[in-house]
Amino acid sequence: KMKAYFYEESSLNPHSPNDSGELATLDDLRRIGVNYRHQDEDLVAFANQIMEEFAFRERDEVVISRKTFGDAYDAKLATFFEEHLHEDDESRLILDGEGFFDVRSADDRWIRVLVEKGDLLVLPAGLYHRFTTTEKHYTHAMRLFLENPKWIALPRTAEAEKSECRQAYLRSIQQ
Ligand code: KMT
Ligand code: NI
């Protein structure tokens, strides 16, 4: 089952759960355009099915760990953890390990989603988010994307706020 909750802001360690105790529901995620799925077995078939359903054309894999990133690990995590948005969706299927995606709720608080093996998370273009590893410091993920993805990270600034993708996102989540 999905584990998502509102983030406890007072903590200094982003890798710890920082669970405020207030649960976030699938509906809280749906309201901000986030898509969550889980599949227990045959992730190869699941990935193929998701590619088809979302019309993704490309995929690759990334392992986020001290071993794979070496000296660049801390800098890499710092960029992942800076609040940002993209002009295209960010889609991740977790193949092994675990991690935390933080997404901005409808009322602009952080919802933390623990992602584990078999979890698929699709973050819509224009949604502010960030990522970090858990205390295990190991995330093996498949990245699913369109042919020419625009996933340059725009940090949360007045410029990002004014961007076309942000404005389109805000319209898309209004009733
Ligand atoms: C991103 O773009 O923020 C990432 O790739 C995060 C790690 S993927 C689990
Ligand atoms: Ni991102």
Among 89, 131, 154, name the best residue to mutate to test ligand 1's pocket (greatest count of ligand atoms within 8 A of Cβ): 131
The ligand 1 atom at the shortest distance from the C-alpha of residue 80 is 3
**Cβ atoms 157, 83 nearer than 8 A:** no
Cβ-based burial of 105 (10 A; exposed 0-12, middle 13-18, buried ≥19): middle
**Cβ atoms 35, 129 nearer than 8 A:** no
pTM of the model: 0.95
Question: In this predicted model, what pLDDT tens digit does every residue of 25-42 receive, in sequence order?
Answer: 999 999 999 999 999 999
Question: In this predicted model, what pLDDT tens digit does every residue of 113-164 receive, in sequence order?
Answer: 999 999 999 999 999 999 999 999 999 999 999 888 777 999 999 999 999 9
**Cβ atoms 83, 130 nearer than 8 A:** yes
CB count in 10 Å sphere of residue 43: 18
Is CATH 2.60.120.10 the classification given to domain 17-173?
Answer: yes
**ipTM computed for the complex:** 0.91
Residue entry with tokens 């960030």: 130
Distance 123 CA to ligand 2 centre (A): 8
Triad 42, 46, 49: Cα angle to 5°: 145
- Domain spans of the chain, in order of start: 17-173
DSSP characters over 98-153: EEEEEEE-TTSPEEEEEEETTEEEEEPTT--EEEEE-TT-EEEEEEEE-SS-----
Closest ligand to the CA of 154: 2
What pLDDT is attached to residue 150? 75
